[in-house]
Amino acid sequence: MQVSRIKRFKAILLTCTILLGIIIPACSKDLAKEEVIEVELRVTRNLGKTVIFDELLTVDADSSVIDILIDNLDVKTEHGGGFIRSIEGLESGFIDSAKGNKSRIDWFYFVNGISSNIGAGDYVLASGDIVWWDYHQWDGAGFTPAVSGCFPQPFKSGFRGTRGNCVVLYGEGLEHEAQKLKGYMQELGVEQIAIDKLNEEMLREKDGMNIVLEVNDKIAASAFWQDIMEHREKTGWLAKIYSDGIIGFDISGEYSKSFDEKVGAVLVSGQGMGDPYPLWLISANDQGTLGQLIDGIIDNPENLKNNAGVIYHFGEFIPLPLR
């Protein structure tokens, strides 16, 4: 009887050892997978006009925005690393403020197309995030709470873990274009996306991200959109839409150029820095041009890359701010 019990105990022990030999390596592999993530780091000047750095990186899973910047570029900091003094020799306009020489030019960073409202050392990255540092002036039209240049972000990953649903809101007769854009974004990995008929009251609710598809004359006649366009210094809007055309602005807001006929735009706004629910507008003079604009994005999403917004004119994507 005693021998039988010993044999059974040895058999159980052997089985447990075999199971542990299978489970522990498997768990170790899962943990190893979580130790690194892939993120994209971009560094530019004047909202994408000049590209300094643009690479896909494999980094530690607990990396912050400042970590990946310091690891890949020449960066000087102040105040214990909490303030960027310079990147690749381009210095913050605030560094000489004590001497009275402060200039309104500085480094700003976006994560997934949203201007961050927290320090770069406090923003811990998630897999798939796009970090975009840009050196530009911040007066005039230079304040940009959100940009189009990280598409299909922020719709895939959101901002600081906040994503919410994305709804493509379409104007009269534009349901086909909305369905096409939705399908394409699903192919890119956007999971929570739907379409609905445009109602401006929905835009005021701010419980998710909205992409509005509408023709220019409807935008020009809307008090909601006019308010955004008239306060460019707060909304970051880099164009003004009229019923028969669009005016684009440079980064200072002083230079402008008019576009008419076969013209559209992709514009983005937010309610200050760190707004997780930016508002996107895709508009054009007519349904046909709007459809062509969407096709241009689908055929080559690089048309939006590193731009705060774009004007679409006779098949050409023109970066905003104007250069």
pTM of the model: 0.86
- Classify residue 144: in a domain, yes or no: no
**What CATH number corresponds to the domain at position 98?**
2.170.130.30
Range of the domain at 44: 36-137
Buried b (16+ CB within 10 A) or exposed e, 246-272: bbbbbbebeeeeebeebbbbbbbbbee
- Classify residue 276: in a domain, yes or no: yes
- Classify residue 251: in a domain, yes or no: yes
Rounded average pLDDT over 48-65? 96
Rounded average pLDDT over 257-279? 94
The answer to whether 144 and 115 are in contact (CB under 8 A) is yes
Question: Which pLDDT score, from 0 to 100, does residue 31 have?
Answer: 44
In this predicted model, what pLDDT tens digit does every residue of 213-240 receive, in sequence order? 999 999 999 999 999 999 888 888 999 9
Residues 201 and 247 in one domain: yes
Mean pLDDT value across the chain: 87
Helix %, strand %, coil % for the chain, to 5?
A: 30, 35, 35
Phi and psi angles of residue 307, each rounded to the nearest 5 degrees, phi first: -120, 145
Asked whether the predicted pLDDT for residue 139 surpasses 90, the reply is: no
The angle subtended at Cα 274 by Cα 271 and Cα 279, nearest 5°, is 45
**What CATH number corresponds to the domain at position 275?**
3.30.379
Asked whether the predicted pLDDT for residue 29 surpasses 50, the reply is: no
How many domains are contained in the chain?
Answer: 2
Asked whether the predicted pLDDT for residue 127 surpasses 70, the reply is: yes
- Classify residue 147: in a domain, yes or no: no
Q: How confident is the model at residue 126 (pLDDT cuts 50, 70, 90)?
A: very high
The answer to whether 148 and 126 are in contact (CB under 8 A) is no
- Classify residue 22: in a domain, yes or no: no
Question: Which pLDDT score, from 0 to 100, does residue 158 have?
Answer: 94
Whole-angstrom Cα distance, residue 85 to residue 97? Answer: 12
Rounded average pLDDT over 9-25? 47
Looking at the DSSP assignment, which residues form a beta bridge with residue 137? 105
Residues 107 and 173 in one domain: no
- Classify residue 146: in a domain, yes or no: no
Residues 178 and 53 in one domain: no
Rounded average pLDDT over 245-273? 92
Residues 300 and 222 in one domain: yes
Residues 183 and 106 in one domain: no
Largest CA distance in the chain: 97
Residues 70 and 117 in one domain: yes
Residues 95 and 199 in one domain: no
Asked whether the predicted pLDDT for residue 26 surpasses 60, the reply is: no
Tokens of 234: 């707060």
Residues 211 and 292 in one domain: yes
Window from 33-42, 128-137, 164-173 with minimum mean pLDDT? 33-42
Rounded average pLDDT over 104-117? 93
- Classify residue 180: in a domain, yes or no: yes
Residues 82 and 179 in one domain: no
Q: Name the more confident of 68 and 105.
A: 68
Q: How confident is the model at residue 179 (pLDDT cuts 50, 70, 90)?
A: very high
Residues 99 and 187 in one domain: no
Question: Which pLDDT score, from 0 to 100, does residue 23 have?
Answer: 45
Rounded average pLDDT over 197-215? 90
Asked whether the predicted pLDDT for residue 45 surpasses 60, the reply is: yes
In this predicted model, what pLDDT tens digit does every residue of 85-103 receive, in sequence order? 999 999 988 655 555 555 6
Residues 171 and 315 in one domain: yes
Asked whether the predicted pLDDT for residue 277 surpasses 90, the reply is: yes
Whole-angstrom Cα distance, residue 286 to residue 143? Answer: 30
- Classify residue 21: in a domain, yes or no: no
Last residue of a domain, one of 119, 137, 155: 137
Please give the share of the chain, as a percent, with pLDDT higher than 70: 85
Residues 133 and 237 in one domain: no
